[in-house]
């Protein structure tokens, strides 16, 4: 049986909020018996977007992570709601029953992702239901796909084997894999959110004026050896990405055949680093 999955490209999310707004538009003021009771108009977004800003000075980037119910195959809420309050469909979608889950505040805490919200007025736990009611009517994808300006969100109905192959081929990740919940929501380019960069701008003095150095070779090393190598661009800038948080001690070695070299010691903590201007020593290498 083919099942639903979502693939979200973190590098393409621009935080427009449309996915979140589409969920409000769909579920606020509407009752879909068997699928979902009305959602609250304000607060308790079932589709949320988190932001991660990295860097400082003028070397800054921002990444956005949309999160929603992962429709996990081994969902903790399924265990807690095994009495019928929560069920998993054959197509992979998890539904919190809007009648049987009445009063089940414990289901909110059951989700390790915080994807279940508590609707006080309805006395119901609620979440993003993959727009199952629309898919069952023949819609080809949930609404978040339709409103995303960059096509960052893709909905795929396929076999689990095919999805696993795709996840491997494209280095897709899931949230909190260590919990072994087996989410059906995958992420591409998650490193923008979870990993650090170290960057800088190489310069030299020419006739007493500071100039950006293009084409300098920059090598990033740690105790195990070279981690990465890059050439500086027209602004003298370089950036090494996908470094682990608290990566520890590194060294940056810069060389240029005319303008010389520089060496910088770096300690990578919790946050990305913009080393700023790195002045070459003028001794050709």
Applying CB under 8 A, which residues contact other proteins?
A: 12, 14-18, 20-22, 24-26, 28-30, 41-43, 45, 51, 53, 55-62, 137-138, 143, 146-147, 149-151, 203, 209-212, 214, 233-237, 277
CB of 75 or CB of 202, closer to other proteins: 202
d(Cα 203, Cα 256) in Å, to the nearest integer? Answer: 11
Q: Which is nearer to other proteins, 6 or 78 (CB)?
A: 6
CA distances from 53 to 101, 192, 193, 272 (A): 38, 9, 8, 9
In terms of CB distance, is 75 or 262 closer to other proteins?
Answer: 262
Contact assessment for residue 46 and residue 128, using Cβ atoms and an 8 Å cutoff: yes
Question: Cβ of residue 84: shortest distance to other proteins, in angstroms?
Answer: 25
Per residue in 203-220, is it b (16+ CB within 10 Å) or e — as a string? bbeeeeeeebbeebbbbb
Report phi then psi at 210, rounded to 5.
-75, 130
CB-nearer residue toward other proteins: 57 or 257: 57
Is 1 or 42 the residue whose CB approaches other proteins more closely? 42
Q: How far is the CB of 260 from other proteins (least distance, A)?
A: 16
The residues near 10 (Cβ < 8 Å, ≥ 6 apart) are 63, 64, 65, 152, 187, 188, 189, 190, 192, 193
Q: CB–CB of 182/72 below 8 Å? A: yes
**Shortest separation between residue 146's beta carbon and other proteins, angstroms:** 6
Q: Considering the complex, what minimum distance in angstroms separates the CB of residue 160 from other proteins?
A: 28
What is the DSSP code string of 35-69?
A: TBPPBPSSS--SSEEEEEEEEETTEEEEEEEEE--
User: How near is the Cβ of 61 to other proteins at its closest, in Å?
Assistant: 7
For residues 249 and 221, what is the distance between their CA atoms, to the nearest angstrom?
Answer: 9
**Least distance between other proteins and beta carbon 162 (Å):** 24
Least distance between other proteins and beta carbon 35 (Å)? 12
Give the integer Cα–Cα distance in Å for 139 and 144.
12
For 262-277, the DSSP string reads EEEEEEE-SS-EEEEE
Q: Cβ(107)–Cβ(48) under 8 Å?
A: no
Q: Which of residues 53 and 164 has its CB atom nearest to other proteins in the complex?
A: 53
Pick between residue 151 and residue 223 the one whose CB is nearest to other proteins: 151
């Amino acid at each position: 049986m083919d099942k639903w999955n979502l693939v979200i490209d973190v590098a393409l999310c621009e935080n427009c909020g449309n996915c979140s707004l589409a969920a409000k538009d769909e579920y606020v003021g509407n009752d879909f018996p068997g699928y979902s009771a009305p959602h609250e108009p304000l607060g308790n977004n079932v589709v949320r977007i988190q932001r991660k800003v990295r860097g400082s000075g003028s070397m800054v980037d921002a990444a956005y992570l949309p999160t929603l119910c992962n429709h996990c195959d081994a969902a903790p809420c399924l265990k807690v709601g095994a009495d019928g309050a929560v069920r998993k469909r054959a197509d992979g979608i998890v539904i919190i029953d809007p009648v049987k889950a009445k009063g089940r505040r414990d289901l909110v805490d059951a989700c390790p992702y915080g994807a279940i919200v508590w609707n006080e007025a309805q006395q119901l736990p609620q979440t993003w239901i993959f727009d199952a009611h629309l898919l069952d009517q023949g819609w080809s994808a949930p609404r978040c796909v339709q409103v995303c300006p960059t096509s960052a969100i893709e909905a795929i109905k396929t076999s689990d084997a095919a999805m696993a192959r795709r996840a491997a081929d494209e280095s897709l990740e899931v949230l909190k894999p260590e919990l072994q919940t087996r989410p059906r929501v995958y992420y591409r380019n998650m490193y923008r959110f979870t990993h650090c960069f170290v960057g800088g701008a190489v310069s030299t003095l020419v006739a007493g004026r500071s100039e950006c150095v293009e084409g300098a070779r920059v090598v990033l090393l740690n105790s195990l050896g070279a981690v990465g190598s890059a050439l500086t661009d027209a602004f003298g800038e370089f950036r090494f990405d996908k470094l682990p948080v608290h990566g520890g001690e590194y060294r940056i070695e810069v060389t240029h055949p005319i303008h010389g070299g520089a060496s910088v010691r770096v300690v990578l903590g919790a946050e990305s680093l913009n080393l700023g201007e790195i002045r070459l020593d003028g001794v050709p290498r």
